Amino acid sequence: MDAASSTRTTNTNITTVPPPLTVASSAGDDEEDQPTTTEPPEFDAMIHSWDPHALFSGGGISFLSGNQNGKFSYGYSSFKGKRASMEDFYETRISEVDGQMVAFFGVFDGHGGSRAAEYLKSNLFKNLSNHPDFIKDTKSAIVEAFRQTDTDYLNEEKGQKKDAGSTASTAVLLGDRLLVANVGDSRVVACRSGSAIPLSIDHKPDRSDERQRIEQAGGFIMWAGTWRVGGVLAVSRAFGDKLLKQYVVAEPEIQEEEIDGVEFLIIASDGLWNVVSNTDAVAIVRGISDTEAASRKLIEEAYARRSSDNITCIVVRFENSV
C-alpha cells in the first residue's frame, strides 16, 4: 500500500424440477421481496465466538491523480459464516503505475478449495499493473492479464489431484474512469442517484448466451440441484477448473463508467447476493457513511437472512458524489 493512502484493519470475534432457463438480460437485480431484517440469536453468539479469524474488516482513504474530486474511502469485511472453511479472498490496492495513482479492488470466491482465490489475491493485480499497455489500453490489458493469470495458475496446478477454481469481480479506478471486470458470480453494483445499477452480470450456466457458448464448445449443462456445467460447476466462467477449462473460461466481461455521479460501489461474493438484492444492498449502504461499517452491516444482513456461504464485501464511496 502506498503512503498516499491511510488504512486500518480490524479483526472481530464473529464466529426437484428445474426452473426455466434465464436469458442474459435478466441477470441483474433480484425483484423478489426480501425477508424483514432480523438478526437471529445465533448471530450474537457468533460475535463472541472463540475464533478470531472468523471476520476481518478494515478500510482506508485515498485520492486519484487526474481527478480533481478524486477522494474516496473504502471498507471491507470478510466472514467465514456457516461454511466449515474459508474460500473467499479479497484485495484492496492503491498503487502508482507509470506515474498515475491506480486503485484496485477485487473479490475472489473460491470453489474446490481456496488455492485459486488465494492465487488471484496475490497475482492478479500484479499481472495487470505490470502489463505494458495498462494505462493506454486498460481494457485490453485487463483481458490479457486475466488470461495470463489463469494460464499461470493452471501451470502451477499440474501436480494437484483435486480441481479448484475461483470467481473474480474487480474494479479499477484510473483518473476519472471506473473499469469493472467480472468472471463468475460475484458481483459489482453501483449507486447512482440512489438507484442500484449492476455493473456486472453473473456468469451462470442458465444464461442463454453462456449456455450457447458452452454447447458450441462441445459441453453441456444439466440440472443437479441447480444448473451446472457438465453437471458439476454452478458458474460458467472461472479461473482454474482445469478439467472443465474448455467450457469454463476466465474471459472477463468489462464495463467502463465515469466515476462522476457514482455515489458508491459494492463488490461482493455470492454469499451476499444469494440473499440480498441489489436494491436492498444499496439501501443499506446509503445510510452508513463509514465504508468499513457499511461492509460489516452487509455481512450482518446476509447472515440474518440465512446465507449459508462465506460472505465478503467491499464498499467504495466517492466523496465528490453527494
pLDDT tens digits, 79-131: 999 999 999 999 999 999 998 999 999 999 999 999 999 999 999 999 999 99
pLDDT at residue number 3: 35
Cβ burial of 302 (10 Å; 0-12, 13-18, 19+) is buried
Asked whether residue 143 is domain-assigned, the answer is yes
The mean pLDDT value for 10-31 works out to 40
Q: How far apart, in whole angstroms, are the C-alpha atoms of residue 158 and residue 164? A: 11
Q: How confident is the model at residue 70 (pLDDT cuts 50, 70, 90)?
A: confident
Residue 223: which pLDDT band, with cuts at 50, 70 and 90? very high
CATH number reported for the structural domain that contains residue 140 in this entry: 3.60.40.10
Nearest partner of 125 among 106, 111, 144, 140, judged by Cα = 106
58 part of a folded domain = yes
Q: Which residue has the higher pLDDT, 21 or 141?
A: 141
Number of domains composing the chain: 1
Of the ranges 43-52, 162-171, 305-314, which one carries the lowest mean pLDDT score? 43-52
Does the residue 217 lie in any domain? no
Residue 48 clears pLDDT 70, i.e. is over it:
no
In this predicted structure, what is the pLDDT of residue 319?
84
Q: Count Cα atoms within 13 angstroms, Cβ side, for 319.
A: 14
The CA distance from 163 to 242, in Å, is 7
In a domain, 141, yes or no: yes
Which of helix, strand or coil describes residue 180? strand
pLDDT on residue 69: 55
What mean pLDDT is reported for the chain?
86
Is 94 among the domain residues?
A: yes
pLDDT tier for residue 229 given thresholds of 50, 70 and 90: very high
- Note the pTM of the prediction, 2 decimals: 0.85
Is 179 among the domain residues?
yes
What are the tens digits of pLDDT across the range 140-193? 999 999 999 999 999 999 988 889 999 999 999 998 999 999 999 999 999 999
Is 186 part of a structural domain of the chain?
yes
pLDDT at 299 exceeding the cut of 70? yes
In percent, the amount of the chain with pLDDT more than 70 equals 81
List, in order, residues 6 or more apart from 296 with CB less than 8 Å away. Answer: 12, 55, 57, 75, 77
Q: Please report which confidence band the pLDDT of residue 49 belongs to, taking 50, 70 and 90 as the band edges.
A: very low
Q: pLDDT band at 40, cuts 50/70/90?
A: very low
Could you tell me if residue 222 is inside a domain? no
Does the pLDDT of residue 43 top 50, yes or no?
Answer: no
Q: How confident is the model at residue 55 (pLDDT cuts 50, 70, 90)?
A: confident
- Which residue range is the domain that position 156 belongs to? 42-203+238-318
Query: For 287, which DSSP code?
Result: T
